A and B are shown apart, each in its own frame.
Chain A
């Protein structure tokens, strides 16, 4: 199986600062990783994904870093905005298998 954990259940940042949310996984065979954002009253929304053949991937204001050696991935949000306030999950899977989700980090952006 797989065990997925997030380092901090809550995170508060000032508007305009960068945010870093971390996730650790246990299965070295895991090869696909996704970050989701969940706003209150809504389902999780895809943000960015990365496969194990990469160690970094960038999107719009977001970057995902993958360190397979220590089985750790992070989500970086640049210039955090109030609209970024939400719960962030990582999802981890190995090819052909189900996704395992972390319990989430609640990000609060302070104006």
Chain B
């Protein structure tokens, strides 16, 4: 079966712009989580969605937002981009909300570069 699909794979944006990233979970998975990965900080939790509702949120500013659609696909948006937002953004899906069973299945990520 298809894995977690993230689009686009690479993105270059200018400071002050906004960006929208997309994630399609594994078919049947209803929980989608987003992470920011940087060399110094590792994976930092952004937020988690289940049944179109944000269920958990990490410690990121309000410029970072997301949503989930009825088909479980999710988008995250970053407004007023800063240089420090350059990172690999990873989406992960699981069957249910934080079941922990076999953890998440991650996508390959979107590499965002802010110049």
Residues of chain A whose beta carbon lies under 8 Å from any beta carbon of chain B: 32, 34, 36, 41-46, 49, 89, 91, 93, 95-104
Contacts and interface: CB of A to CB of B under 8 A. Distances in A.
A91 B42 contact: no
Which 5 pairs across A and B sit closest by C-beta, in order of nearness?
A43-B106, A103-B42, A101-B43, A34-B103, A32-B100
A64 B48 CA distance: 27
Interface residues of B, number: 23
A101 B56 CA distance: 16
B113 to A, nearest CB: 15
A49 B104 CA distance: 11
Contact of A98 (B40, B45, B102): B45
Contact of B108 (A43, A89, A93): A43
Contact of A103 (B41, B104, B107): B41
Contacts of B35: 101
B95 interface: no
